[in-house]
Structure 1
Amino acid sequence: MRRMRHTPGVISPLETFAGLLDRSVAEVAELAADARNFDPVRVGRIADIWDNNIFPLVSAASAVRPLRSGRARAGLLWMADLGAARRQLLIDLDPALAGFLPAARPEPSARRDYRGELRPGSFPLTAEVVRGLSVDYDLAAAAVRSMTVSATATGLRMHLTLAAPRRFQPSTGRVAVDGSRKPWPPAPLMFTFDGVTEFGFDAEDRVGVAVTCTDTGLAVALGREGHLRADEGTVWPDDPQWHESAAARAADPGTPHDRPQRREPVRAAILSAQQKAAARALHTLMLQVRLVGYYPHLAAAVPLNEICRIAAVAGSAILTASAHRGPARDKAFAALEEQWRHVPPKLPAAPIGSGPIMLRFVSYTEPHDDYDVARPSSAVVVAAVPGEDPAGPWHRAVKEITQPSRLRIAGGAFAGEQRVRRDADVLSIDDTFAVHPHG
């Protein structure tokens, strides 16, 4: 059997695999310890790693000794095979993986679905991409359908989804729920901006978008007075009819018909009932953590601190339990299942009242029809507020408003500690932020 090479800095594939789980839980615990550092998007991305990788870790740790390293290595490669962003997240958690993982596969600008029709990838925002986008979509008539801005360790990140009229005519209408043919609604264009240095957004002024690429980054005009500046950005045209666009026609000749295949998943070892139960219990805990990323309005309710206490050094615990043999191994995993299966109850809602505050996440969605389903407008505010001890850690607090009558926000609202005013259900921070309830 060929001996596997070990990259300097990586202890072993199995210990690295387990260490990633330990580091994941530790970073979530650090982000949750004081809400002034809280980043719900990153918490969700970290937890998402373990949606389908806990069982492979237990399988690799429980395999016979000659197979452990190979299966752990396969697990790491499978884990990193979801694109450059996932690979970079793993390296953020364990820098030693930079020399261990292969380079990320180039992400194609287009791919084919099971019918052979072209689907777009995510495009970096360059002058050429913006020009091409303007050929297929009327950005001047596009409306902001949703907006999120979140505070990260490296600055502000902003997501905008535009509902943009097409400049090309789809060859067929869409099939409605009643079976009739109807015109396609405007196409969703999903923009992501990193390194946002300034912005201003008013939900009442959301029609018309212009993107300009400059030597120093990106400048975006939103409506009549809205704006943002960012270091870089991407756009994903989430348009089911994109295959009929000019961009798709240009990409068609060079796009292979063979669909790229992912790496083979980790071969699973035969697990005992106790091993499966422990893995399921830990998986359930990580799913609770992941809720924060998908549903930020739950950020204050999910007991992240307690979950991280329960799941601390879970990877190391899996290795320790797997080192036993026979009944002793089953007993060790049964003890882990007993520790991990108790999901803590949800936390009571922490109110956002008048006083000190640090915004961590704000989102807005306009009312719209989503394929014959009416979606009301909504706004979510995730913030850090001080507890009873002013010198102690701040707590996560959330305000969710269905059908807000007004929302406006500027970058200054995220500039460190602010003072929020609550008048009835209206939240405001000087002239940089205001959200009004349904009127």
Structure 2
Amino acid sequence: MDHEDARGSALTALAALLDRSIEQIAQAAEDGRTYDRGRIVSLSDLWDNAAVPLLRAVTAATPAEREDRARALLRAMVTRRPQHRERVLEQVGGQWADLLPTSRPAVPQRDFFGVVRPAPSVCTPEAWAGLTADYELGAAGVRRLWVEQEGAAGASGTLELSVGRRYPATATASGAVLAVQLHGLTEARFDHTDRHGAVLTCGAGGVTVRLGRGGVLRAAGAVLSVEDHRWHESAAGRRADAVTPPNDPPRPRPAPAEEPELAPAAGRVARVLGVAMMEIRSVRSAAEVGRVPVAALCRMLAGAGGALVATAGDEAALGRLYEEWRARRPVREDGEPSPLPGRVRFASWSAARDGRRAEAVVVLASAPGGPGGLWLTSSYEHPEPAVFRVELTGGQLSAEVAG
């Protein structure tokens, strides 16, 4: 097999994907006023468990093996995370489309035991009517809510509701949870003392969720998902069970091929890259924002893809790259951060459950050096708040947390 085809070098495309991912993460983290946590998490998530396979591709013995390994890694990245297919093609070019697996439609699937499980669905009047037939939304309680500003102007939110079942379930050891993921959020108002009861309407004009007596969430659209271990007994679950094919009989899996150990310098480079991406991805937990030096980690890794290809797998060159990264590695800010005054970028409230106490988390964009420079981000956790109110109006997010 030729080590390259008409599409070009897969290893070069993979290196460019790494460099662009790092550049875009840096842009999303550069200024607290436009900090985009969701984009940072999505871009870094693409590289989950990819550092070692990438170094195996870089250090493979022949050009053909390097290309085979690079193609395999591109496929694996999309196989593990189908939602990243369009992002990968946007970065490496549409000529690689036939290499990458296509996304399967979101439909109910059977788990390992053959029990049918629900799939997320776009919020439509029909989807909502199906949920209200199986669950008691009028008495639902807010289990968790967060509202977040994204980039320069966008906003999103997620609402989790503890809901009662309308259908007779054979076991009810744990309750059901309905999650509403809202995109294009334009208005939010919520007080944690007014959190029982939910009414949702959706149509061409968007999605509106009314909570309690005075709470409201308005958005361009939403995705609905259900977490219910007895869902297969609901009306929707029984309908899905009737049309979902049974699982294929289990087949013995071939033993995985034994992979070569990376040489010492290549292994050290892989560890630094993998740990850095894992640290960046840890801002999935909003409480980690401000502790994780995302922008500094991106500066350390700037040009990493091109630098790796340039080493041509040479151990001495990889050793020098490792020393460069180690010299530039930033220090994580552990310990409880001191919140700085500033603009609210994220606010969440979680009810007490499963032995965990109620908690609020707020992320702020702050300008200790004056508004002319880059703004910083800080976060703080507030256990068992007596007061939690959040409001989004006119593109401005505000939160009140006390007690």
TM over 0.5: yes
Q: Residue 346 in 1 paired to residue 332 in 2? A: yes
One-letter amino acid of the counterpart of residue 122, structure 1 = P
Q: Once the two structures are superposed, what CA deviation does each residue of 1:281-338 show, in whole Å capped at 9, x if it has no partner?
A: 2111111111111x211211112222112111111121112x15xxxx1112222333
Q: Residue 156 in 1 paired to residue 155 in 2? A: yes
Matches within 5 A, 1:20-419: 20-63=17-60, 64-82=62-80, 84-91=82-89, 93=91, 96=94, 99=97, 102=100, 104-153=102-151, 155-172=154-171, 183-258=172-247, 271-293=262-284, 295-321=285-311, 323-324=312-313, 329-341=314-326, 343-347=329-333, 351-354=338-341, 357-368=342-353, 370=354, 374-412=355-393, 414-415=395-396
Identical pairs, percent? 32
Q: Aligned partners of 2:260 and 2:98: how far apart in 1?
A: 24
How far did residue 61 of structure 1 move? Answer: 2.1
> Following TM superposition, where does structure 1 have runs of at least 4 consecutive aligned residues deviating by more than 4 angstroms?
2-5, 91-103, 264-270
CA contact (8 A) 2:186 2:393 kept: no
Q: Once the two structures are superposed, what CA deviation does each residue of 1:80-127 show, in whole Å capped at 9, x if it has no partner?
A: 224552223334555657856657322332111111111112111111
Question: Do the aligned partners of residues 101 and 378 (structure 1) sit closer, same or farther apart at CA in structure 2, a change above 3 Å counting?
Answer: farther
Question: Do the aligned partners of residues 267 and 224 (structure 1) sit closer, same or farther apart at CA in structure 2, a change above 3 Å counting?
Answer: farther
How far did residue 194 of structure 1 move? Answer: 0.5
Aligned length: 395
Question: Do the aligned partners of residues 389 and 434 (structure 1) sit closer, same or farther apart at CA in structure 2, a change above 3 Å counting?
Answer: closer
Moved more, 96-105 or 248-257: 96-105
Of the candidates 393, 399, 402, which is equivalent to residue 433 of structure 1? 399
Question: Do the aligned partners of residues 266 and 236 (structure 1) sit closer, same or farther apart at CA in structure 2, a change above 3 Å counting?
Answer: farther
- Stretches of structure 2 that go unaligned for 5 or more consecutive residues are none
How far did residue 4 of structure 1 move? Answer: 6.2
Q: Aligned partners of 1:256 and 1:347: how far apart in 2?
A: 50
CA contact (8 A) 1:39 1:360 kept: no
Question: Do the aligned partners of residues 375 and 413 (structure 1) sit closer, same or farther apart at CA in structure 2, a change above 3 Å counting?
Answer: farther
Question: Do the aligned partners of residues 51 and 3 (structure 1) sit closer, same or farther apart at CA in structure 2, a change above 3 Å counting?
Answer: closer
Question: Do the aligned partners of residues 89 and 204 (structure 1) sit closer, same or farther apart at CA in structure 2, a change above 3 Å counting?
Answer: farther
How far did residue 160 of structure 1 move? Answer: 0.8
SS of residue in 2 equivalent to 1:381 = strand
SS of residue in 2 equivalent to 1:404 = coil
Q: Once the two structures are superposed, what CA deviation does each residue of 1:231-274 show, in whole Å capped at 9, x if it has no partner?
A: 1111111112212211111011221223699xx99995653232
SS of residue in 1 equivalent to 2:393 = helix
CA contact (8 A) 1:47 1:289 kept: yes
Q: Normalising to structure 1: TM-score of the pair?
A: 0.82
Moved more, 197-206 or 68-77: 68-77
CA contact (8 A) 1:350 1:396 kept: no
